[in-house]
Amino acid sequence: MAKQKLEDVIEPLGARIIVIRDQAEDETLGGIIIPAQAQEEPSLGTVVRAGEGCIAEWSAGDRVLIPKFAGKEITVADWTVVVMEEDEIFLRLHLEDKDKKKAAEAGR
């Protein structure tokens, strides 16, 4: 049996957006290992799906900056996602691949 895609399993209602937070870095650029309990919650995430009530047009894969305590974190079928209102998202990022790591470091 094929594993279902997250966007096929979960559907946000109204003006809600489903976001997967980026993974916390476990090592600094200088090579220092950061213990799990000391890692900060990432501020960057990727949009999985947006509800039909959203004002802006959102696409799966959009990169966004979100507050540390925004939305409600839930686990659905082995995925941990954040369900949030559209107005909780600070901004949408339009980055080249080489700039994504810089933005991830700046977002902490």
Residue 1 placed within a domain: no
CA distances from 42 to 3, 38, 51, 103 (A): 27, 12, 23, 11
pLDDT at res. 108: 46
pLDDT at res. 103: 52
Question: With 0-12 CB in 10 A as exposed, 13-18 as middle and 19+ as buried, what is 18?
Answer: buried
Along the 108 residues of the chain, how does pLDDT read in single tens digits? 567 777 777 889 999 999 998 876 666 567 666 565 655 565 889 999 999 999 999 999 999 988 888 899 999 888 889 999 999 998 998 876 655 555 555 444
Whole-angstrom Cα distance, residue 93 to residue 21?
A: 14
Residue 28 placed within a domain: no
Place of tokens 């937070």: 21
Residue 49 placed within a domain: yes
Residue 30 placed within a domain: no
pLDDT at res. 41: 60
Residue 34 placed within a domain: no
Question: With 0-12 CB in 10 A as exposed, 13-18 as middle and 19+ as buried, what is 89?
Answer: buried
Residue 88 placed within a domain: yes
Q: How many domains does the chain have?
A: 1
Give the domain extent around 84: 13-23+40-106
Whole-angstrom Cα distance, residue 48 to residue 71?
A: 14
Whole-angstrom Cα distance, residue 11 to residue 48?
A: 10
Residue 75 placed within a domain: yes
